[in-house]
A and B are shown apart, each in its own frame.
Chain A
Amino acid sequence: MKYTKRSDGRKFDECRPMKAEVGVIKNAVGSARFQIGKTIAIAAVYGPKDLFPKFLQKPHTAVLRCNYNMMAFSGSGERVRPGANRRSKEISLVIEKAFEPVLDLSEFPKAVVDVYIELIQTDAGTRCAGICAASLALADAGFDMKDLVCAISCGLVGDQVVVDLDKTEEDFEGGAVDIPIAMLPRTEEITLLQLDGEISKEQLLKAIEAGKEACKKIYEVQKAALRAKYTVEATQ
């Protein structure tokens, strides 16, 4: 089915408006809020701290533990039952893997670093918003990172390649393909890639290219948010 015009008037390769803020949770070692369109994610980092049970410890590095959660009222339909479910556990896992290549925790052997991601409001693209927030929170916490991680969903709505699908696009009656990706902006390496739907090889590669371009814009928003916090502190 043809998809000729986006419901909110965006260009096909245009992200929804983004907002990022670093240092939003005082109790945490690092924290951030990332909003894209109506999807709002917050992330907090705690640690490094001792990891128990002991057999989970790694002798040469700290373990990164991510926890993705939607607040009970943040879904589009009925209330989301609180607590972990299969979906949230899988998302937590792929988020951990998205950070594995950039984060150097070898300074803290046998320890754990916890990243908690909470969604306050959702309009699709929640794992990507969560990664963008978590990336800022980890940087805010001061861990050694080779780069930030930027994430966006790209894909197909009808027969059209788009980036940053919202909920109405994901539910498009002519079919939609949702491809969340996470990228390291300096090397353009992909650290998260999932796909939901049916797509040709050519279209997939085109979608990923569009996603990469979008990630570069996210990178600028993230850097600006970090600068906003640390520039202020430096002048005090």
Chain B
Amino acid sequence: MMISRDYIESVIAKNARMDGRKFDEYRHIEIEYGISSKSAEGSARVKIGDTEVVAGVKMELGTPFSDKPGEGSIMVNVELLPLSSPLFESGPPSIDAIELSRVTDRGIRESKSLDFKKLCVKEGEKVWLLFIDIYPINAAGNLFDACALAAIAAIRDATFPKLDENMKIDYSQKTKTKVPLIKLPISCTVWRVNNELLVDLTIEEELASNARLSVVFTEEGKICAMQKGGDSPFSSEEISNVLDIAEKKTQELRRHFK
């Protein structure tokens, strides 16, 4: 069921939300680990209200980038499955899926949350590559934050597969060695509807929004990735307010990883 944009705007103009939440209140969050533990090196399911995403980590050996011969790498891919929403269609990745993938990727990469040096097997020749694949199961708003949480949760769950003496991966055997996740970057996306700033929009609210800003914070309160979206601009004052909201909210979200 889609509710009209005008109606959403009129509710928010009265300082309220459709589901009774405050503007800066997230829906109920659940994180479950090891949802594909036979197949994936690490996996997790994240639910934010009715939004549900799953993420899995697959590890392979590859050659390092020539400018970083001693470091492994990650690749994040979000696929907007038509299974998860009537708004998504089959076919090559849409621009929305590419944006989601890249923003999620940036949050992990730029925060240096993985110790990429520890993903090196032999300098200049062999490094571990982490493929982090994320799929919405039910897309009901705020996929940016849900995907970011799911990616980190799946990496947190991941252990190295076994390497045999010929440097071949034996996927049937997992070691107990955890993937070196040293920081937890957390994303908070703040949207503007009318002139109000809100977090964790439902899909109906998202369609009424005219601008959004995703901000990824590290534990030390550093900002490591941002992405502005939507058709309308933000004023500097609004950006400052967004940062305050996002800083506070990411601290709250981080508690789910304790």
Report B-chain residues with C-beta under 8 Å of the C-beta of A14. Answer: none
Distance, CA A155 to CA B39, complexed state (A): 24
Report B-chain residues with C-beta under 8 Å of the C-beta of A26. Answer: 50, 138, 140
Report A-chain residues with C-beta under 8 Å of the C-beta of B82. Answer: 46, 67, 114, 116
Q: Does A40 contact B (CB under 8 A)?
A: yes
Partner of A82, one of B77, B90, B138: B77
Report B-chain residues with C-beta under 8 Å of the C-beta of A67. Answer: 82, 90
Report A-chain residues with C-beta under 8 Å of the C-beta of B63. Answer: none
Listed stretches A69-77, A172-180, A209-217, A223-231; interface member: A69-77
Cβ of B77 and Cβ of A75 under 8 Å apart?
Answer: no
The smallest C-beta distance from A124 to any residue of chain B, in angstroms, reads 11
Cβ of B85 and Cβ of A121 under 8 Å apart?
Answer: no
Report B-chain residues with C-beta under 8 Å of the C-beta of A74. Answer: 36, 39-40, 56
Q: How large is the interface on B (under 10, 10 to 19, 20 to 34, 35 or more residues)?
A: 35 or more
**A93-133 interface code vs B (CB 8 A; 1 in, 0 out):** 00000000000000000000010111011110000000000
User: In this complex, what residue of B is CB-closest to A69?
Assistant: B81
Report A-chain residues with C-beta under 8 Å of the C-beta of B215. Answer: none
Q: Does A16 contact B (CB under 8 A)?
A: no
Cβ of A75 and Cβ of B83 under 8 Å apart?
Answer: no
Given contacts A67-B90, A118-B83, A120-B35, contact A73 B171 (CB under 8 A): no
The smallest C-beta distance from B38 to any residue of chain A, in angstroms, reads 5
Partner of B54, one of A28, A75, A120: A120
**B7-35 interface code vs A (CB 8 A; 1 in, 0 out):** 00000000000000000000000000001
Q: Which of A71-92 contact B (CB under 8 A)?
A: 71-79, 82-83
Given contacts A74-B39, A121-B39, contact A79 B140 (CB under 8 A): no
User: In this complex, what residue of B is CB-closest to A71?
Assistant: B135
Q: Does A161 contact B (CB under 8 A)?
A: no
Q: Does A165 contact B (CB under 8 A)?
A: no
Q: Which of B37-90 contact A (CB under 8 A)?
A: 37-41, 43, 50, 52, 54, 56-58, 60, 77, 79, 81-86, 90
The smallest C-beta distance from B102 to any residue of chain A, in angstroms, reads 15
User: In this complex, what residue of A is CB-closest to B34?
Assistant: A121
Report A-chain residues with C-beta under 8 Å of the C-beta of B56. Answer: 71-74
Given contacts A26-B138, A120-B54, contact A82 B133 (CB under 8 A): yes
Report B-chain residues with C-beta under 8 Å of the C-beta of A40. Answer: 36
Given contacts A78-B60, A79-B131, A120-B54, contact A27 B36 (CB under 8 A): no
Q: Does A38 contact B (CB under 8 A)?
A: yes
Report A-chain residues with C-beta under 8 Å of the C-beta of B40. Answer: 73-74, 121
Distance, CA A10 to CA B248, complexed state (A): 53
Given contacts A71-B36, A71-B56, A79-B133, 8 further A-B contacts (CB under 8 A): A27-B140, A28-B138, A71-B133, A71-B135, A72-B58, A120-B35, A120-B54, A121-B36
What 8 pairs across the A-B complex have the smallest Cβ distances?
A: A73-B56, A116-B83, A79-B58, A73-B40, A72-B133, A121-B36, A44-B83, A38-B38
